Amino acid sequence: MVIKNVEFIKSATRPAHYPAGDFPEIAFAGRSNVGKSSLINVLVNRKSLVRTSSTPGRTQLINFFDVNGEFTLVDLPGYGFARVPLAVKKEWGPMMETYLSKRANLRGVILILDIRRTPVAEDVQMLHWLRAYSVKPIIVVTKCDKVSKNERAKQAAVIAQTIGIQMAELNFFSALSKEGKDQIWQRIEGVLYGAETEAVGAES
């Protein structure tokens, strides 16, 4: 993917505020602090297009970014962080389900998981919604720089089993080393333009 231009379009919480137009859209979901914003920044070759933070739960809005005037990347609010206020937690489910079910532009969702952690209930819920609303999932396992090759293999098995998918469906990534960037773009292009290499492929 050649990135010519990326720009922030707007933030929204409800459909009336989603951007108009019919550009195809790819959204990024995952628990707070998992590395959603970092992944987007690496994909578009920008150090800080999307604000990253060591304080979990900073992104509470749905943030839309235009790429090349061709498609849209969407940073979704993180979930599962204990210190987020209850009122915010209660809004997450309806806000997500509304976006996933009503956003006609949406083609695929990148579900981001931490290689060191067992997926939480919200991760599984997200996958159920994607199936229910026929949105293609791309599973990215991030922070791979933090574990050894052995630990990676062990954790990959736990993650695949917990969310009920094949290990071959996992795309390994690190925002530090940028490992996995090209493969994730291939998956995104497959979902955006319906190429052979779709969300779930045999090679990995």
Residues forming the site for ligand GTP (CB under 6 A): 30, 32-38, 52-54, 56-59, 78, 142-143, 145-146, 174-176
Residue 124 or 198: the one with the smaller Cβ distance to ligand GTP is: 124
- Under the rule (CB under 5 A), what is the footprint of Mg ion? 36-37, 59
Non-local (6+) Cβ contacts of 192 within 8 A are 24, 26, 71, 107, 108
Token pair recorded at residue 172: 């390994």
CA distances (Å), origin 16, targets 13, 45, 93, 95, 109: 9, 30, 18, 12, 21
Output b/e per residue, 179-202; b: 16+ Cβ within 10 A: bbbebbebbbbbbbeeeeeebbee
* Shortest reach from residue 104's CB to ligand GTP, in Å: 25
15 near 105, Cβ under 8 Å? no
The whole-angstrom separation of Cα 75 and Cα 96 is 12
Q: How far is the CB of 7 from Mg ion (least distance, A)?
A: 17
Shortest distance, CB of residue 67 to ligand GTP, whole angstroms?
18
Which of ligand GTP, Mg ion, none binds 180 (CB below 5-8 Å, type-dependent)?
none
Q: Return the number of the residue (30 or 119) whose C-beta is nearest ligand GTP.
A: 30
CA 201, CA 203: separation in Å to the nearest integer? Answer: 6
The H or E element spanning position 102 is: helix 86-102
Residue 89 or 152: the one with the smaller Cβ distance to Mg ion is 89
Contact partner, 38, from Mg ion, ligand GTP, none, Cβ < 5-8 Å per class: ligand GTP
Nearer to Mg ion, 66 or 75 (CB): 75
Q: What minimum distance in Å lies between the beta carbon of 114 and ligand GTP?
A: 9
Nearest approach in angstroms of CB 87 to ligand GTP is 17
Closest residue to ligand GTP, based on beta-carbon distance: 78
User: Which amino acid makes up residue 112?
Assistant: I
